[in-house]
Amino acid sequence: MLSRGNCWLSVEGIPKPIPLTGGDCILLAPGTSIILRDSPRTRPRSTFREIAAKANSNVAHYGGGGAPTTIVCGSFSFDRSSPKPITQLLPSFILIKADQARTLALHNTMQALASEMAEQVPGSEVVATRLAEVLFIQVLRAHIASEPERNKGWLRAIFDPQMGTALSAIHDRVNTPWTVESLAEAAGMSRSAFAARFKELLGQTPLEYVTEWRMQKAMQLLPQRDKKLIDIARSVGYESDAAFSKAFKRVVGANPGEYLKRGKEK
């Protein structure tokens, strides 16, 4: 995010450079190459990683002679043990302009985050991590608000009042014996309308999503040595470890034992 100043952004796969001004924010998927420069005609001379390596703190100074520009940057990492990682559910590039809807809260969070990183007082790292998580959600909210009709899939569904309610119910009560009818009731919709809307937004049926979420929770529990397989099975909505193992292999591609062994080998 540019907290002040101006620059031009070139993104891999986008033909024309994009002008950025103070308050603009970008979110990039892993592996997406970008170039930031003061003019589209300026030849890039260094990378963020090389600049950061020269700095003795979290603040790096580079260049000089022109109008000052301040850029705050960071990265997010996610648990890899997921049948559908969140990075696959998001666009590779999100641009939030300073004058878009829902950006006031985002800017306030970014200012607080920049302050924590600059001062480095006791507890700054913990506070900065929490603020970064809040910032990530605020960026997604602003992105959805900017293009509500173009945004489909999980990203749109989780913030949809009715679909979001159903998804929250699945996430919070994973061991509930969910049916399409009970989920539709939670969303305040008819069964047919709910099933059609769910499939339209997420590309799968409600019960397919329930099964995927159960397996995701199971993958978090399996490495815990104090958890028996039957206890894990029941905690994610299965009465027997056999039924759980069958569903796990269908979704993950390996049974629980094979999955744990594969994780140890890594």
- The CATH number of 2-146 is which of 1.10.287, 3.40.50, 2.60.120, 3.90.1720? 2.60.120
Summarised one tens digit per residue, pLDDT across range 130-173 is 998 898 888 888 887 776 555 556 777 877 889 999 999 999 99
Q: Which CATH topology does 154-265 take?
A: Arc Repressor Mutant, subunit A (1.10.10)
Identify the three-state secondary structure at position 10: strand
* pLDDT score at 194: 96
Q: What distance lies between CA 90 and its chain's CA centroid? A: 7
Q: Give the span between the Cα atoms of 204 and 101, in whole angstroms.
A: 30
Residue 114 is predicted with a pLDDT of 78
> What's the rounded mean pLDDT across residues 218-237?
90
Q: What is the pLDDT of residues 93-104, one digit of tens each?
A: 889 998 887 788
Query: Look-up: residue for tokens 């049916």?
Result: 179
Return the bridge partners of 2, or none: 71
Take residue 50 and report the two structure tokens written for it.
């090389």
pTM: 0.64
**In this structure, which amino acid lies at residue 203?**
G
Name every residue whose Cβ is closer than 8 Å to that of residue 243 and which is 6 or more positions away in sequence.
233
pLDDT band of 65, cuts 50, 70, 90: confident
Q: Where are the domains of the chain?
A: 2-146, 154-265
Higher pLDDT, 91 or 222: 222
Q: Which residues of 223-238 are buried (b: 16+ CB within 10 A; e: fewer)?
A: eeeeeebeebbebbbb
Task: Give pLDDT, residue 47.
Answer: 66
From 96-105, 131-140, 213-222, 246-255, the region with the lowest mean pLDDT: 96-105
